[in-house]
Structure 1
Amino acid sequence: MQKFVTAQWKKAMAFDLTIEDATIPVDADEQFGGAGYGPKPKALMLTALAGCTGMDVVSMLGKMRIPFDSFSIEIEAKQADEHPKVYTDILVRYRFTGDQLNEDKIETAIELSLGKYCAVAATLKKTATLKHELLMNP
């Protein structure tokens, strides 16, 4: 097995997570003893989704020679009321700007990412309904 992450306890509920050569601080919510040292670990799953699908889409659009000026992703999520409070509904909103956007090809890239290539999306789909929205030149 390959080592991916190490977690070094700092104080109270705070840890430094080391992934390859990057360190990310994490902390619990204040009601559980956190002190604002960093984001909550569960939220990092949504950042992983944004990064994973974003890289997929950029790669595919490059291969399709679809230019764009800017691209961003926003993610909204609902979680279960009961523990372990997994994400149950996730909306991934893709925003593109540019003069030569091709909606059909961008949709194809998004659907391939979320449906086939993004391992984070595949993992989250085990507990959540995953939907997306495309906004062009909003």
Structure 2
Amino acid sequence: MELKREERGFVTETAYGSLHVSSDEQQGFRPFQLMAASVAGCSAIVLNKVMAKMRIPCDDIKVSVQVERNEAEANRIERLQLHFVIRGQNLKKDKVERAMALARKNCPMVQSVKNSIDVTETFEIVE
């Protein structure tokens, strides 16, 4: 990946289009947003795969992420709170909990930040 400087940030070309990164939210994604989206997206992808392997059928998975930053330390990300909404019929809480634990253990992004960012997950099941 190569990022090129623009007037108000940086841009990279991907197979899916241009990705603009800027400290100004009007000009592109802010770096902390990309970090949060990477961790949340990776977690959701791995959870979906784990659930499929465990034969836990679900109709939909949505994940939201709350970001806590520390202004006193360069506005670093201190905590990411992931909340999953898992939609499906007859989902068992204990099986979903096991799938969540396996997803956490096998998510490359969560494992990459585990000693620097506190990542917590919660979930709810919706029929």
TM-score by length of 1: 0.81
**Where does structure 1 lack aligned partners over 5 or more consecutive residues?**
none
1:85 CA displacement? 2.1
SS in 2 for 1:24: strand
1:51 CA displacement? 1.6
Contact 2:32 2:77 in 1 (8 A): no
- Structure 1 distance, partners of 2:97, 2:75, is 31
Aligned residues: 126
Name the structure, 1 or 2, with higher relative contact order (CA <8 Å, separation 6+): 2
Match of 1:16 among 5, 11, 22: 11
| 2:116 alignment partner AA | T
What CA RMSD, in Å, does the superposition of the two structures yield over aligned residues? 1.8
**Where does structure 2 lack aligned partners over 5 or more consecutive residues?**
none
1:124 CA displacement? 2.2
1:128 CA displacement? 2.1
- Percent same amino acid at aligned positions? 21
In the TM superposition, what whole-angstrom CA distance separates every residue of 1:36-69 from its partner, at most 9, and x where no partner exists?
1211012101111112111111111111111111
SS in 2 for 1:6: coil
* 2:44 equivalent in structure 1: 54
TM-score by length of 2: 0.88
The runs of at least 4 consecutive aligned structure 1 residues that moved more than 4 Å come to none
SS in 1 for 2:73: coil
In the TM superposition, what whole-angstrom CA distance separates every residue of 1:94-125 from its partner, at most 9, and x where no partner exists?
101111212222211211222x2112112222
